Amino acid sequence: MPGLFAPVRLGRPHLPNRLVTAPTARGRAGRWGVPGPGTARSRARRATAGLIVTAEIQPSPAGQGYPAPPG
């Protein structure tokens, strides 16, 4: 079995390893749900670790489960 740091092909992309980071943008959006520079910096720091799964879009203000979500 390949190790955690072994390269892998996931469909078309070739990944340098098998590490996956979950969404981590909680609380990084501004007042109107727009991700700010903090989100870009945070993702840039994690980008060298492996694949980053991004999500966390709130469909409406009523759907917010915590303060300052992106979307």
Structure tokens given for 68: 């300052």
Q: Looking at the predicted structure, is the pLDDT value of residue 1 above 70?
A: yes
Task: Please tell me the predicted confidence (pLDDT) of residue 71.
Answer: 56
Helices of type H across 1-71: 37-46
Domain boundaries, the chain: 8-63
Tens digits of per-residue pLDDT, 3-59?
999 999 989 988 889 988 776 666 666 767 777 787 778 778 877 778 877 666 666
